Structures are given as C-alpha cells and as structure tokens.
Amino acid sequence: MLKNYFKIAIAVLKRRKFFTFISLFGISFTLTILIVLTAFVDNVTSANYPEVNRDRSLYIISIQQRDTAHQGQMTGPASFYYLNHFVATLKTPAKVAISSMFSATNTYVNNAKLVINMKYTNEDFWDVLQFKFLEGKPYTTQQIDNGEHVAVITEDTKKQYFGDVASVVGKYIEADNVQYRVMGVVKSVPVTMPVSYADLFVPYTVSKADWKQSKDYSGNYTAVLLANSKSDLPKIQAEYANVVSKIPPSNKDFNVLVSSADPYLKSFLAINNKGNGVTILITVIVGFAFFIMLLPTLNLININISRIMERSSEIAVRKAFGASSQTLVWQFIVENIVLTIIGAAIGLLVSFVIIEVINSSNLISNLHLIINFTVLFYALIACLVFGLLSGVYPAWRMSKMHVVTALKA
C-alpha cells in the first residue's frame, strides 16, 4: 500500500511542477538557514581549539560592583590585581589562566601598516589553553617575572610580518613601539573566541599599565579556571563564591561586589549575575527556529488546499469507486511527507555547499564551520513533523468532500 502511495505521490509532484517547486524551495531554504546558523552557533559555543577543556573549565569574564541603596552599578572585566590576588590563590582549581582582552596596535612592515591584536597573559595561560605550537615554545615563568620582552605569535602574524620564512624563533617583532623576541608560533584562532584570540601574546609584566601598584578591581582581564575533573567544578564555584562574599568593593561609591565563575556560555550570557542568560538564549533560538519552520508550514497548507481543489474530480471518482476517507487521507499525508523529505535532502546539499563556500572564502579568519549531525537529525525530524502537520488539515478537508460537490468543483 505504501509503495502505491509513494508512486502516486511522485506522479502528482511531477504533474504539478510549479506547486512542487514552490514547496521544495520553502522547505529546503528553511532547512538551509537552520543548518548554517546552527553550524555557526555550534562553532562559537563548543569546545574547539584551543579551548578544548571547556567541559572542565570555568570563566570569570566580568565583575560587578553595586550600590544597593541607590541602585547604581559598575560592570566590566576585572583587573589583573583582582584575579591574581583573589582568584589565582584559590585552592581547588588545578590552574588559573589570566589574560587581558585583546587590544589593537599598529606596526609597519615594508612601509605598510599592519594591525596587531595584543594579549597579556600569565604563565598558566599556556597550560589551560591547549595551543598548538608550530615552532618554539611559550615564554617561561622566569621570563615573565623578569619582565622580558618576549612574545608568542600566531601563524597568520608570522606570514604577515616576516613573510614566507622557515623559522622566526629568536627574531624580533615590533608592536606598540616595543621590540619583542619571538619565542614561539602557534596555530591561529578565530576572533569569535575572544578569551584565546590574539595575534601576539606577551607577558603581563611588560604591560605599560600600572598593574603592580593599582589595587582597583576593575580592569581589562579575564580568567579561566581549570579543574582536575568535571566533578570539581561545583567545588570551585562554591570556593569562589565564599571568597567573593568576603571581598569589599574597591570603589567607595559601592557596597556590594558580585562575581561568579561560570561555564563558557553562561559566563557571557548571565544577566545581572542571576544566571538566566542561557535560558533566554535557548528560548530565543527555539522561538526563532519555530517561526522559521512555521512559514513553510503555512505555505504548504495553502498550496495543499489549492491542490485539493484542483484534484476534486479525481477525489470524487476515487470515492465513487469505493475509496474510503481514511485511504485518501493517508495518500495525501504520504505525498506531503515525500515532498518534505525531498526538500530536506535539497536543503542539506545546499547547506554543505554554503558552509564550504564560507570556509574557503575566509570570511572570518580561521573560522571553520562543520555540520552538527545531532542538530541535523533533530532538524530533519522537525521537517517531517511539520510536513506531517501541514498535510493533516488539507487531508481532513479532502476526506470531508462529498462526491457530488467534488464533481461540481
């Protein structure tokens, strides 16, 4: 029976090519949007190079000082002093990586301006974040303590500054009017990973900012706390929360200090440190996906109703020869599911092509998108569900048509 339904469905789709084209376009276009957007979100939020330890890492992206009486507040990245004094001394984390947000500086190569994004780091930065060294090695603790002008650069920076040379370890690169001796070269990171992205990494001790004397809590630094295992994450959070509860604000205009160590996504999305940012994001994404899927569904319903009116004579003849309403309903639903599957296959193929174009075009440097097959599976299930739903109402309308009415239509 299903085989016959399938043959009829293919014949009907071939016969009404315009309706088929409109339906396939809506389904494939919708699925393509969902897959490409999901690939981008997955790349940004997943544990990719060099932040491969995100599943056992906690992030401190910002701190907040509040005035509970007047409802004033100041939110932003922490200072090196705050992270080094209150976070690096925690006992539960295995390592604490402290680094500044990247900042741009100009340098010149062959009379051409080159923008280099710099990042200041501590020694644990290279243990917590698993950078791939193409040559050389990171600077040492002793070099940091001595305030030596040493640096680690990315592969892209090496090509742009030094050209096509075999090795640059031991050579000097100028940034912010300072000469730095290159210690190593790492594989480049996309800008979509702000904690680990930079073109040039240098010790925090060479920063021109007054990091040693200033005891202000606000600054330009973030921290990544690496646990020995995932089971230690709640312990780290509890220890840090206990420490924060005892820290008075550094600004006399505020009386409360708020900060938390959170997983990667939550650390960027937490609103007022209440932790509801992830919930809001998921709600928005699901709502957007539902809305995107709803459009082709409504389109299919309208097209299917039009198809029913065109096929009224066929329906009447089949009813006259004994076809039951249930048989006609199932036939129409199978036709709709076949159409949805074909549209999903086209959408998947187009998604592969678009993602390959994005990767090869280097639209975002060093960003490599891949299709998340788990999400793809659920997207296909959603397509089938919406395809089924978009066929139920038209099929019900069709089953209720009387033979005489259908013949007159």
- DSSP characters over 207-255: -SS-TTT---SBSSEEEEEEPSSGGGHHHHHHHHHHHHTTPPPSSTT--
Q: Three-state DSSP class for 372?
A: coil
State yes or no: pLDDT of 105 exceeds 70.
Answer: yes
- pLDDT higher at 408 or 225: 225
pLDDT band at 367 (very low <50, low <70, confident <90, very high): confident
State yes or no: pLDDT of 278 exceeds 60.
Answer: no
Q: Would you state the structure tokens that stand for residue 208, as one six-digit string? A: 């021109």
Partnered with residue 112 across adjacent β-strands are: 109
Beta-carbon contacts of 330 under 8 Å, excluding residues fewer than 6 positions away, are 5
- H or E, element range at 96: strand 95-100
- DSSP characters over 242-270: HHHTTPPPSSTT--EEE---B-HHHHHH-
How far is residue 80's CA from residue 210's CA, in Å, rounded to a whole number?
Answer: 10
- pLDDT higher at 26 or 141: 141
Sign of CA dihedral 324, 326, 329, 334: negative
Which region holds residue 139: left if phi is over 0, alpha if psi is between -120 and 50, else beta?
Answer: beta
* Predicted pLDDT of residue 168: 96
The 10s digit of each residue's pLDDT in 236-249 is: 999 999 999 999 88
- pLDDT higher at 402 or 82: 82
Of 268-272, 347-351, 386-390, 401-405, which one has max mean pLDDT?
347-351
What single-letter amino acid sits at 272?
N
% of the chain surpassing 70 pLDDT = 73
Angle at 286 between CA 284 and CA 291, to 5 degrees: 90
